[in-house]
Amino acid sequence: MVLLSQLLFAFFFALGNCLDSSSSPTSLSEKDSTNPLPIDTIFKLPSPLPTWPPGGGFASGRLDLGGLEVCQISSFTKIWATHEGGPDNLGATFFEPSQVPEGFFMLGSYAQPNNKALFGWVLAGKDTTGDPSNGTLKQPIDYTLVWSSDGYIWLPTPPDGYKAVGCVVTNSSDKPSLDKVRCVRSDLTDLSEPDGWIWGTDKGISVYGLRPSTRGVQALGVPTGTFMASNSGAVAAALPCLKNVKANLSSMPNPSQIQALLQSYSPLIYLHPDEEYLPSSVSWFFRNGALLYKKGDESNPVSIDPTGSNLPMDGSNDGAYWLDLPADQAAREQVKKGNLTDAGVYLHVKSMLGATFTDIAVWVFYPFNGAAKARFELINVSLGKIGEHVGDWEHVTLRVNNFNGQLTSVYFSQHSAGVWVSASELEFQGGNKPVTYSALHSHAFSPKAGLVLEGNGGGIGIRRDTAKGETVVDAGARFLEVAGEYLGSVVVEPPWLNYTREWGPKIDYNIVDETNNVEKALPFFLKKKFRKFIGGLPSEVLGEEGPTGPKMKDNWSGDERT
């Protein structure tokens, strides 16, 4: 948990992005005929989706946003493809939704980079107001051409009081018919922001996905699956998303549907084969001697009852209290190691993106986070105690589509932020269960096994080692639902969830001593580099506070932090 910062993370992200930029200057036809593009494959989860238990509007294929019914279309007609520009310089493909149900209209075209298997959707809408003059959908009054080459991107011009939420793509220079697409009444739209680069060239065009600007359990913005296109010197089209104006939560899964989702998608969490610090349940940690300390009364720590009901639950993270391992040395060493048999995961089920998605955050508790290890060139460097701390909370989040119950992506927490990985790029096991890896000592989550160097590049970084061994937590075997605000009193939050202070003490070692010790042991030619590397680590890494619990993290009620 401890050793990463946004800075380091940004590096990892950049690394990930440039891993396979194996673009060679092949001609279009060569690319076409010799190498099928990733997008030529349609991604499907390894196993068919089960029949979900009935009840409410979950997985019913439709959602009423308030006079505007929407459905999700993932069958497409290919309109136009380009084979250059965009991610990995492989180009992008533009599609039109097909098989739009009777009474529904297209709101915009779909676009995807060619470097990934086809996996996407757009919403189509149906006006259910029966109001001919002020309904929720209207035809555009015209189009503006945003981009043309051998494909054409058109921005609908909405009538007064309406907004365009998507572009129309054609493969001929004729303006699309006004009946092609619908604009949405302004009160059913919300602000959005670019999300993911789809395509762009040095000729000035850039195409991005869209997502609501405000996201969280209370936020009502609904992504449409459409894209925005901007062309330098021409129209910059930042298109709005939709809005679930009635805050209709009928699409959210009920308790038996949540059980079924877990049966399908509960992640497998592979711990590193060399990991000494395994997870445990929170109550095991408490029952085995964890102590609550109070500032000013450090010599009288108290033991904690198994549910945490004697923890302070008022106030904020003000440093007035903290938890620690048992005082007795032998007990400390034992508790540090956790207890895999007793470990389970804690679930937080939340409504996301205007109730069109369900996020299931899967939290894992580790009594102890081990020391970090660095790699300089090809040499492993122990960092002494740097990185160690008591109490480590990590999570992955499953994002499930409420139209059909399909898993669409998984978030992996990595220190203070994390990454979303599309289902089309996950490893699965036992049907549709995503495979996740917990890194040696830091327990940061990864979608892949192997070594990642966290740092600023130059062959120096903190090792993040993950591997598939025998040690695995099957989240589906032992889980406890600890929070689900939209379910009301169905989910009873355990008392420890409301403990707002730190789950471990401030570090008890001296960073300067620790750094000097490490440096002393290094060969002379690495000393200077090491100084520079340590100097570049953000202060929160070196002056580590104990970690806080799930409710205090970014982001309990919001979207995940990336």
Which of 195, 305, 427, 493 touches ligand NAG (CB under 6 A)?
493
Nearest CA among 205, 103, 210 for reference residue 151: 205
Residue owning tokens 């003490």: 505
- Between 216 and 306, CB nearer to ligand NAG: 216
First to last CA, the chain: 15
| 528 in contact with ligand NAG (CB under 6 A) | no
Q: Which of residues 438-457 bind ligand NAG (CB under 6 A)?
A: 440
Of these, 89, 254, 339, 471, which contacts ligand NAG (CB under 6 A)? Answer: 339
Cβ atoms of residues 218 and 557 within 8 Å: yes
Which amino acid appears at position 163 of this protein? K
Q: Is 261 helix (H, G, I), strand (E, B) or coil?
A: helix
433 binds ligand NAG (CB under 6 A): no
149 contributes a contact to ligand NAG by CB under 6 A: no
Residue 510 backbone zone (phi > 0: left; psi -120 to 50: alpha; other: beta): beta
* Candidate list 17, 99, 516, 555; residue touching ligand NAG; CB under 6 A: 555
Query: Which of 71, 79, 118, 421 is in the footprint of ligand NAG by CB under 6 A?
Result: 79
Query: How many C-alpha atoms does 508 have within 13 Å on its Cβ side?
Result: 6
Whole-number minimum distance, CB 80 to ligand NAG, in Å? Answer: 6
Contact 70, 285 (CB under 8 A): no
Among 342, 427, 519, 540, binds ligand NAG (CB under 6 A): 342
Nearer to ligand NAG, 23 or 218 (CB): 218
Is the Cβ–Cβ distance between 210 and 190 less than 8 Å? no
Tell whether residue 324 is a contact of ligand NAG (CB under 6 A): no
Separation CA 282–CA 293 (nearest Å):
17
Q: How far lies 548's CA from each of 250, 390, 397, in Å?
A: 33, 11, 18
- Measured from the CB atom, the residue of 297 and 377 that comes closer to ligand NAG is 377
Site string for ligand NAG, 27-66 (x = CB under 6 A): ------------------------------x----xxx--
Contact pick of 78, 203, 527, 528 for ligand NAG (by CB under 6 A): 78
Write each residue from 376 to 395 as x if it is in contact with ligand NAG (CB under 6 A), else as -, in one continuous string: ----x---------------
Q: Is residue 310 involved in binding ligand NAG (CB under 6 A)?
A: no
Span interacting with ligand NAG, options 71-79, 190-198, 295-303, 353-361, rule CB under 6 A:
71-79
Say which residues have a Cβ less than 8 Å from residue 184's Cβ, sequence separation at least 6. 68, 107, 125, 136, 137, 162, 163, 165, 242
User: Which is it for the CA torsion 112, 114, 115, 121, positive or negative?
Assistant: positive
Q: How far apart are CA 5 and CA 539, in angstroms?
A: 10
The CA distance from 333 to 331, in Å, is 5
303 binds ligand NAG (CB under 6 A): no
Interacting residues with ligand NAG (CB under 6 A): 57, 62-64, 77-80, 134, 161, 171, 187, 216, 246, 248, 250, 313, 339, 341-342, 373, 380, 440, 463, 465, 493, 495, 498, 554-555, 557-558, 561
